[in-house]
Amino acid sequence: MKIAVVLNNRSYEYDVYTLVIAFWPGVPVHVYDPGETFPEKPDLIISVRIEENGADITLIGEEGTANRRSVSFSDGNASSGDENRRILVKNALKGCLYELLSSMTGITLPWGNLTGIRPVKLASEFLKAEQSRETNPEKGSGTPKERAVRDLTDTYYVSRKKAHLAVSIAEREQKILSRIHPEEGFSLYIGIPFCPSICLYCSFSSGTIGVWQKEADHYVDTLIKEIRACGRGAGRPCFPGKKLQTVYIGGGTPTVLTPEQLERLFCALGENFDMDHVLEFTCEAGRPDTITAEKLKVLKRHHVSRISINPQTMNQKTLDLIGRKHTVEQTAEAFHLARSMGFDNINMDLIVGLPGEGLAEVDRTMQALEELDPDDITVHALALKRAARLALHMDEYEAISFQASDDIMERTQETCSRLGMTPYYLYRQKNMAGNFENVGCAKPGCAGLYNILIMEEVQSILALGASGSTKIICPDGRIERIENVKDVRSYLDRIDEMIARKDPLR
């Protein structure tokens, strides 16, 4: 199947395109200007004509049959430069398009016409608005939480189940954020862009440690140079006057580094940043085959409070297929080793929708995790991005099923509930299996603070290392970014430039 979108106003292209691919994941969708010739005849033409005060949407099938719907922009016009009016127009346009596509296909999407990655941030805004109207006699029936759920279902066609999930998480996040006062501090992200192997579904800018082994020391040296320049080592630290509240070392797989390299990195952090106010210190130990007692001793010595041991699945056949070079047994062994050494906040990541995995395989994974009893489980719905080898070579896997259903997602949440966990953060990505979400569940006191802060965008984050993306939350709510280069070689060669880019933060 091929779909053509004919759009006369490209400023709304992203909004239209992402909603169309949500209904037809994996189907080629191309956007054209009116009058432009199609290279080949599409199976479906979606014509979206946007005028100043309204829009007309027409669906034309192979047989020439047409479905039409119109919408007026009563509170705004499409050509206005005002951002609030643009949002009103966008919501009206997407609502109309969603109704038409849903009517044509018979499909209702779990998240309605929401295509952004932060539905909980939107839910939080609704919840705060309803809480502020609590004393208003015209507030409507129900609690602020119930009304916020209605806001999501009525405005964005979100299913009641997903709306309740988003608002419940927003409510928990509010309580956590009120205790840590994120505006008083900042977070620090350290990127280690190496892995033992590259997973089939991965699109991150990581390289295999086998290829970069000889450069790993050079990378650590360069990273330490950036740490010193951005910390107190150079006498001009970034975010002066703010307290460092969370530290997150991710990648890649940080534990591909040797114990000696990790020791040097952690010592540099302690020497150049005030760690006295750190509420959470996370290090991803994502690949079980990179975890050793010696490395865990380094983490423990430097007061790492939270680690991730990520199996993705507990089915060996799937691990072999996706390029994870470890066994199910190694995952359990690494987990028990970490527990024996005193790590009492261990997260485990899973992916739902991996090739060949259905309900039976997910059940097997959840049963294995229930026996391990981690403190935090993050369930990801598979998202195939353009750079992932699985997306590039999808034709090789046509005979293998890719499943993510409401039943499968529900089963993961049932296990989390039995383990005493509740959902505490959530985000979405394009091209997600089943149009679902990534959701983190944790036991009381084990919620990942960094995860909440980065998703809610309420605290500035200093990001160091290749691919680091520093995020500055401005007093007026604007978000500015300072990017490090993604390529490892470029990072090594251009480190002085990466340091200079952060001069505005001093």
pLDDT tens by residue, 470-494: 999 998 889 999 999 999 999 999 9
Q: Helix H segments across 243-388?
A: 259-272, 293-301, 316-322, 328-340, 359-372
Asked if the model's pLDDT at residue 309 lies above 90, the reply is: yes
Residue 389 and residue 442 in contact, taking contact as beta carbons nearer than 8 Å: no
Residues of the chain with CATH 3.80.30.20: 181-496
Given this model, what pLDDT does residue 95 score? 95
Residue 58, SS3? strand
Whether 302 has a pLDDT exceeding 60, the answer reads yes
Q: Per-residue pLDDT for 400 more than 50? A: no
Tell me the pLDDT tens digit for each residue of 245-274.
999 999 889 999 999 999 999 999 999 999
Mean pLDDT of 50-68: 90
Which tens digits make up the pLDDT trace of 91-106? Answer: 999 999 999 999 999 9
Name, of 49-53, 70-74, 165-169, the range with top average pLDDT: 165-169
Using DSSP's 3-state secondary structure scheme, residue 129 falls into: helix
What distance in Å separates the CA atoms of residue 220 and residue 260, rounded to the nearest whole number? 11
Q: What is the pLDDT of residue 64?
A: 80
Give the CATH fold of the 3-105 domain: Rossmann fold (3.40.50)
The pLDDT assigned to 394 comes to 44
Residues of each domain in the chain carrying CATH 3.40.50:
3-105
Q: Which residues of 443-478 are buried (b: 16+ CB within 10 A; e: fewer)?
A: beebbbbbbbbbbbebbbbbbbbbbbebbbbeeeee
Count of C-beta atoms within a 10 Å radius of residue 367: 11
Residue 161 — φ and ψ, nearest 5°? Answer: -60, -45
Q: In 10 A of CB 303, how many CB atoms?
A: 12
d(CA 303, CA 287): 21
The first and second tokens of residue 383, run together, are 């998202």
SS3 135: coil
Return the structure tokens found at 337: 């080793």
Please tell me the pTM assigned to this model.
Answer: 0.89
Per-residue pLDDT, 301: 98
Q: 178 to each of 175, 301, 474, how far by Cα in Å?
A: 5, 30, 19
**CATH number at 181-496:** 3.80.30.20
Instruction: Give the rounded distance of the alpha carbon of 183 from its chain centre.
Output: 22
What's the chain's length in residues?
A: 506
Tell me the percentage of the chain whose pLDDT exceeds 70. Answer: 89
The 3-state DSSP class for residue 470 equals strand
For 220-244, what is the mean pLDDT?
A: 94
The predicted structure's pLDDT at residue 47: 97
For 63-79, how does the pLDDT look when each residue is reduced to its tens digit (9 = 90+)? 787 899 999 987 667 66
* Cα(505)–Cα(275) distance, integer angstroms: 19
Rounded to an integer, the average pLDDT of 371-396 is 68
Given this model, what pLDDT does residue 136 score? 58
What angle is formed at CA 427 by the lines to CA 161 and CA 454, rounded to 5 degrees? 135
Q: What is the model's pLDDT at position 80?
A: 67
According to the model, what pLDDT value does residue 459 have? 96
Residue range 177-195, pLDDT digits in tens:
998 999 999 999 999 999 8
Residue 214 reports pLDDT greater than 90: no
Separation between Cα atoms, residue 35 and residue 33, nearest integer Å: 6
Average pLDDT of the chain to the nearest whole number: 90
The whole-number average pLDDT for the span 30-59 is 95
Lowest mean pLDDT among 2-6, 213-217, 236-240, 303-307: 213-217
The single-letter DSSP state of residue 10 is G
